[in-house]
Amino acid sequence: MPLYTAGSLKSELNDRGWRLTPQREVILHVFQNLARGKHLSAEDLYNLLQNEGEQISLSTIYRTLKLMARMGILRELELAEGHKHYEINQPYPYHHHHLICVRCNKTIEFKNDSILKTGTKTAKKEGYHLLDCQMTIHAVCPTCQRALLPI
């Protein structure tokens, strides 16, 4: 899980016969400058770029998010039903995990260094090349516990 710059992204892409496009650079930049604790869906990213005057099609957004997740640059998160969220994939000491309320989707980030260690060790043991490891806690938040039993 290295930290990417526009330059290192370009070389990693070119090494595989792929290309660095302005769209990819812009999207990486958005995630690199996203506030801690923020997570973007494809639609979120699309709207954010629209508001900044960047014209990147939704198709390209989807393709780029998938590509960068497969490269280990972004993390793909299941924070809500029906669509994915993304954030930059950072190593220690920024590596963190998520506690999610399954009813209202309120999300709390937490850290635990032993998880990344376990992930690294387990992947290595099986000969896998690690891209990301994440712990997800599904639970019901205090507010939703008090609400009267809707599922």
Question: Which stretches of the chain bind DNA, using CB under 7 A?
Answer: 10, 13-14, 17-24, 41-43, 55-60, 62-64, 66, 81-84
User: How many angstroms separate the CA atoms of 93 and 115, rounded?
Assistant: 12
Asked whether position 9 contacts a second copy by CB under 8 A, the answer is: no
Token duo for residue 1 = 């899980």
- The interface mask with Mn ion, positions 107-136, x = CB under 5 A, is --x---------------------------
137 in Cβ contact with 100 (< 8 Å): yes
Count of residues touching a second copy (by CB under 8 A): 41
94-36-68-58 Cα dihedral, nearest 10 degrees: 170
Asked whether position 101 contacts Zn ion by CB under 5 A, the answer is: yes
Instruction: Residue 86: count other Cβ atoms within 10 Å of its Cβ.
Output: 26
Output 70 or 117, the one with its CB closest to DNA. 70
Output 13 or 99, the one with its CB closest to Mn ion. 99
- Cα distances from 110 to residues 107, 125, 145, in angstroms, run 10, 26, 21
List contacts with Zn ion (CB under 5 A): 101, 103-104, 106, 141, 144
